[in-house]
Structure 1
Amino acid sequence: MTTIALRRAWFQVHKWIGLALAILIIPLSLSGAALVWDEGLDRAINPDRYAVSGTAIVAPDTYVAAARAVLAPGDRIATLTLPGDEGPVSVVASRAATTDRPGPPARMTVYLDPPSARVLAVASGNGGLVRFLHRLHGSLQIPGVGRSVVGSIGVFMMVSSLTGLWLWWPTKGSLKRAFRWGRHRHLDTNIHQTFGFWIALPLFVLSLTGAWISFPGFSGALTGEAPRGERPRTRPVPLATPAQSIAAVIARARGEARGNLRSIAWPTTTSPDWTVTFAGARQPIKVADDSGVASAAPERDRAKVGRLMRRIHDGTGMGAAWQTVIVVGGILPAVLAMTGVIMWWRNRGWRAMVKARLAARG
């Protein structure tokens, strides 16, 4: 195959990936850009949740009692999370009416003022704009197969990034010429080629990590991190009446680790242990609900690659520079999708005009 024929083939691949997936790429990329700073977005949309009066912390039992006062009878506390900065205490509970239904149980989150345990807000765990964006980015709001659809889009986007780089590379003249603005007379073409080049490699990385996350069985098998056994059809729910008190659990956990308390997870129908985390601790502490015996949870060495892929994809702990790249990498694919459609439509009209002229002459 000649260079020209290969270039034409890559152009067809690049074009039809963009046209076929444009309507899906736009919401997927824009939601990903918005979620890089999801806490800041949540603060802007729901300022009442963050209207704290200070950073002092009271006894965890006080927060649990305050949360139970506004939850429905029978709701089961699942987690208590203390802020690491100037934020609220959050208590998450599984709804009593949904603990026996298949799938993830509905949850409520109670936001509390740290110094006073005053209730700031109560919100559904499945509602709100930020949660909507998470579901949109993770599954395009498609039940069942949505996650696989998103992963497949990631694979196609990797191909699109590489073919775009191939097509950007000049066939004539120096490489320096390719970096110049105004290689074409149409603004949308210049935007598509210039921005497409600069975002190609970051977009490839984000697409790769997104596909890795979406296909955990396949990607995990490559690194020996594949989940063992079948996923349960029902999500575990917290125990209604744990044997250990919160104060006893924290006291036992402090015998194994030091630092400021960060979170407590209640024992569930599938895991009869409390999970306690402390700031700066390498791993959480497990406290058996029946015996009260505390021990450090084993380190999750088998999930290191998966966790790294997720950090790269969502920017958690990766610094402001990479987070900015992710935001730009979320906005520009939407721009490239729109300019690509405009270029195709204009070229389609031009071809139709040429064909009509030839037919008139013949």
Structure 2
Amino acid sequence: MSKIALRNVWFQLHKWIGLLLAILIIPLSLSGAVLVWDEAVDHVLNPARYATTGTTTLDPQRYVAAARGALNPGERIASLALPERDGPVQVTAITPPDPARRGPPLRTTVYLDPPTAKILAVGTSARGVLRVLHNLHGNLLVPGVGRQIVGWIGVAMLLSSVSGLWLWWPTVGRWARGLRWRRHRNTDTNLHHLFGFWIALPLFMLSLTGVWIAFPQVFAGIGGGGTGPGARGPGGPGARPLVLERPSLPLDAVLSRAGSVTPGNIARVEWPTDRKPEWKVQFAGSTPAAVTVTVAVDDATGRVKPARPERETLARTMRRLHDGTRMGFAWQLLVFLGGILPAVLAVTGIIMWWRARGWKAALKAKQRARVAA
């Protein structure tokens, strides 16, 4: 195949991926860009959750007792998170899975004022702007097969980023010619060329990590920690861990035993589940690289395991690369642009295609007029 023929193949592939998937790529990309700053967005949308009166914290049992009064019957407390700086205390509860409902169990989060244990707000995973954006980005609001659709869109975006970089490369002269602004007389085309070049590698990374998240079972054997819909556990294929309704140990005993091994300020407590009946207590001062230091307390025997660093799996690293969690401002900005610019590329690509249809139709009309004459 000649160089020109190969370039034409890449062009057709790039064009039709953009045209056929533009209506999906735009909302998928923009929702991902917003979710990079989900905490800041939540501050704007729900200011009552963060209307704290100070940073002094109380006995964790006070928060749990206060939160129980705001929960519905059947909801089981799954975690308690104390603020790192000036945020609220968060107590999260999970509703037991409903066989008639697809998807993960519903979560209710109670936000409390640290110095007073006063309830500031109650949020649920069933509604809210951010929940809609998470569902839009994760499954296009299509239960069941939506995540697989998003995964295949990611595969298409991988091909689009590779083909776009190939098409950006100048056919004559040095590669630096491609960095010029005036490669074309139309502004939208110049934007498409330049934005496409600068976002090609970040887009490739975001697409790859997105595919990894959508199809975890495909990568389950790489780096460990990859689990997917087919994961097996005591509850059978695809079963999710269920928080114990009545743990054997009370919270104060758990905290006392954990504190005897690792003294310090408590940052987070996770309740035991049927799959792993042990409490996890995280202490403040853990390093992001480690990622955390926790103490595990067996719910049945009360046996305490020494503090240990929890090495994150490759699957978790891929997710952090994708959403920017604990990756620093520079990386989060890159991920944000990786969400904004594909939407710009989709729009400019459609404009370029539509304009090309116009001049091709005009050219054919002139040719027919010449033949008729």
Question: For the superposition of Structure 1 and Structure 2, which TM-score range results when normalised by the shorter chain?
Answer: over 0.9
* Distance in 1 (alpha carbons) for counterparts of 2:116 and 2:264: 22
The amino acid of 1:239's aligned partner reads L
2:316 alignment partner in structure 1: 307
Equivalent of 1:230 in 207, 219, 232: 232
- Give the C-alpha shift of residue 271 in structure 1: 2.6
1:107 alignment partner in structure 2: 107
Task: Give the conservation status (yes or no) of the 8 Å contact 2:224–2:314.
Answer: no
Percent sequence identity over matched residues? 55
Moved more, 223-232 or 266-275: 223-232
- Give the C-alpha shift of residue 118 in structure 1: 0.3
The amino acid of 1:325's aligned partner reads L
- Give the C-alpha shift of residue 138 in structure 1: 1.4
Do residues 256 (structure 1) and 234 (structure 2) align?
Answer: no
Aligned residues: 360
Task: Give the conservation status (yes or no) of the 8 Å contact 1:51–1:120.
Answer: yes
The amino acid of 1:342's aligned partner reads I
Task: Give the conservation status (yes or no) of the 8 Å contact 2:226–2:315.
Answer: no
* Distance in 2 (alpha carbons) for counterparts of 1:147 and 1:296: 38
* Distance in 2 (alpha carbons) for counterparts of 1:209 and 1:176: 29
TM-score (norm 2): 0.90
TM-score (norm 1): 0.93
Deviation per CA, 1:103-158: give whole Å up to 9, x if none: 53222111000000000001112221112211211111111122221121112111
1:246 alignment partner in structure 2: 251
- Give the C-alpha shift of residue 216 in structure 1: 1.0
**Structure 1 unaligned blocks of 5 or more:** none
1:155 alignment partner in structure 2: 155
- Give the C-alpha shift of residue 356 in structure 1: 2.0
The amino acid of 1:335's aligned partner reads V
Task: Give the conservation status (yes or no) of the 8 Å contact 1:105–1:237.
Answer: no
The amino acid of 1:11's aligned partner reads F
Task: Give the conservation status (yes or no) of the 8 Å contact 1:77–1:92.
Answer: yes
The aligned runs of 1:180-191 (5 Å cut-off) are 180-191=180-191
1:174 alignment partner in structure 2: 174
Do residues 143 (structure 1) and 146 (structure 2) align?
Answer: no
* Distance in 2 (alpha carbons) for counterparts of 1:192 and 1:221: 38
Structure 1 residues 263, 197: closer, same or farther in 2, change over 3 A?
same
The amino acid of 1:292's aligned partner reads G
Task: Give the conservation status (yes or no) of the 8 Å contact 1:267–1:274.
Answer: yes
2:273 alignment partner in structure 1: 268
- Give the C-alpha shift of residue 296 in structure 1: 4.3
* Distance in 2 (alpha carbons) for counterparts of 1:134 and 1:88: 22
The aligned runs of 1:293-304 (5 Å cut-off) are 293-296=303-306, 304=313
* Distance in 2 (alpha carbons) for counterparts of 1:243 and 1:174: 71
Moved more, 154-163 or 41-50: 154-163
* Distance in 2 (alpha carbons) for counterparts of 1:99 and 1:199: 42
- Give the C-alpha shift of residue 230 in structure 1: 2.6
RMSD of aligned residue pairs (Cα, Å)? 2.0
Bigger helix share: 1
* Distance in 2 (alpha carbons) for counterparts of 1:79 and 1:111: 12
- Give the C-alpha shift of residue 331 in structure 1: 0.3
Task: Give the conservation status (yes or no) of the 8 Å contact 2:224–2:313.
Answer: no
Residue aligned with 2:218, SS = helix
- Give the C-alpha shift of residue 18 in structure 1: 0.7
1:316 alignment partner in structure 2: 325
Moved more, 327-336 or 139-148: 139-148
* Distance in 2 (alpha carbons) for counterparts of 1:239 and 1:210: 32
- Give the C-alpha shift of residue 82 in structure 1: 0.8
1:279 alignment partner in structure 2: 284
- Give the C-alpha shift of residue 229 in structure 1: 4.2
* Distance in 2 (alpha carbons) for counterparts of 1:42 and 1:346: 41
Task: Give the conservation status (yes or no) of the 8 Å contact 1:138–1:147.
Answer: yes
2:289 alignment partner in structure 1: none
- Give the C-alpha shift of residue 99 in structure 1: 5.9
Task: Give the conservation status (yes or no) of the 8 Å contact 2:52–2:113.
Answer: yes
Structure 1 residues 336, 84: closer, same or farther in 2, change over 3 A?
same
Structure 1 residues 24, 48: closer, same or farther in 2, change over 3 A?
same
* Distance in 2 (alpha carbons) for counterparts of 1:150 and 1:144: 11
* Distance in 1 (alpha carbons) for counterparts of 2:16 and 2:247: 57
**Structure 2 unaligned blocks of 5 or more:** 287-291
* Distance in 2 (alpha carbons) for counterparts of 1:170 and 1:89: 55
Moved more, 267-276 or 18-27: 267-276
Residue aligned with 1:222, SS = coil
